[in-house]
């Protein structure tokens, strides 16, 4: 069955640096992949969706890449700020369904 792996260890970086988070999946390559941000006690917030035919997508300080050969997506936050501290989740649809698998998320802490 399809699985997603995200680095479960927290990532601490200095303000102003670029944070890079990894999402690896097994088995088939999904038609698209999504990234979400979640703050404690709140529901996830949708950030970006990247389709299999897109290598890279940007939104303000966010950049996502999708490598179907490596079965990996990278999520970058440039010029990181303390307000970017949160847990970031990736999600993919299971094949042929409207059911999504979420990674367990990577907790990012941006130090001032």
Q: Which residues bind another protein (CB under 8 A)?
A: 31-32, 34, 36, 41-47, 49, 51, 89, 91, 93, 97-105
Would you say 108 and 86 are in contact if contact means Cβ atoms under 8 Å apart? Answer: yes
Q: Which is nearer to another protein, 1 or 112 (CB)?
A: 1
Q: Which residue has the tokens 């997506």?
A: 73
Rounded Cα–Cα distance for residues 66 and 26 (Å): 14
Nearer to another protein, 40 or 112 (CB): 40
Q: Tell me how far, at minimum, the Cβ of 32 lies from another protein, in Å.
A: 6
Token representation of residue 93: 């649809």
Q: Do residues 57 and 50 touch, judged by C-beta distance below 8 A?
A: yes
Between 28 and 46, name the residue whose CB sits nearer to another protein.
46
Closest contact distance (angstroms) between CB of 53 and another protein is 12
């Amino acid at each position: 069955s399809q699985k997603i792996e995200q680095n479960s260890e927290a990532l601490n970086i200095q303000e102003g640096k670029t944070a890079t988070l990894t999402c690896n999946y097994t088995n088939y390559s999904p038609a698209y992949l999504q990234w979400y941000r979640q703050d404690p006690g709140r529901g996830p917030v949708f950030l970006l969706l990247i389709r299999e035919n897109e290598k890279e997508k940007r939104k303000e300080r966010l950049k996502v890449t999708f490598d179907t050969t490596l079965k990996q997506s990278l999520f970058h936050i440039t010029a990181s700020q303390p307000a970017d501290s949160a847990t970031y989740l990736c999600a993919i649809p299971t094949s042929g369904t409207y059911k999504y698998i979420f990674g367990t998320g990577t907790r990012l802490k941006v130090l001032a």
